[in-house]
Amino acid sequence: TGFENAVPRELSGGMKMRVSIARAMVTKPRVLLMDEPFAALDEITRFKLNNDLLELWQDERFTVVFVTHSVFESVFLSNRVVVMAARPGRVFKELAIDAPYPRNETFRTSPDYAALCRQASDVLIGAINSTAGPHHDGH
């Protein structure tokens, strides 16, 4: 790609993330922990990296624990989503994402994907309301 000899400061955010993932995969982990890895990236790069991660996962079949604040990203990547509630931090609900792989742009624009995102969003709203004070209306 022409960046083989580049130093980190010369790489884009997406390239740096790809390097981080490659570095983590060198040891052939059984579990990969990813804490909002794509949060600071633009949407186009984020979509590409979501696709890259799914392709890597399909090839290697390791477990990924992927923390995100994006309902859309969680549904696209996952076969299950665990929604957390705050104060105290706890598992609120686990949601099965029963959609076939491989997932691609056809899935990302499908009615099934939209319905799963709606379902995940409803669970998230439930988690928010479960920790809300008496003056909170959930919005």
Q: Which residue has the tokens 């379902």?
A: 119
Between 15-19, 62-66, 103-107, 108-112, the lowest mean confidence (pLDDT) is in: 15-19
| Other CB atoms within 10 Å distance of the CB of residue 12 | 12
Question: What's at 13, amino acid-wise?
Answer: G
Q: Mean pLDDT throughout 86-93?
A: 91
What is the per-residue DSSP string for 82-127? EEEETTTTEEEEEEE----SS--HHHHTSHHHHHHHHHHHHHHHHH
pTM, to two decimals:
0.82
29, 39, 74, 116 from 6: Cα distances, Å: 26, 24, 32, 41
Between 1-5, 21-25, 92-96, the lowest mean confidence (pLDDT) is in: 1-5
Dump pLDDT digits (tens) for 59-71: 999 999 999 999 9
Q: How confident is the model at residue 92 (pLDDT cuts 50, 70, 90)?
A: very high
* Alpha-carbon span 79 to 129, nearest angstrom: 25
Instruction: With beta carbons less than 8 A apart as the criterion, state whether 99 and 112 touch.
Output: yes
**Percent of the chain residues past pLDDT 70, beyond the cut:** 88
- Judged against a pLDDT cut of 70, whether residue 128 lies above it is answered with yes
- Domain chopping of the chain, boundaries: 1-67, 70-139
Dump pLDDT digits (tens) for 14-41: 777 777 888 888 999 999 999 999 998 8
| Nearest C-alpha neighbor of 36 from the set 15, 65, 4 | 65
Q: Mean pLDDT throughout 3-12?
A: 67
Q: Which is more confidently placed, 2 or 72?
A: 72
Q: Dihedrals φ, ψ of 94, to 5°? A: -110, 135
The answer for residues whose C-beta is within 8 angstroms of residue 84's C-beta and 6 or more apart is 90, 91, 92, 127
Question: What's at 100, amino acid-wise?
Answer: P
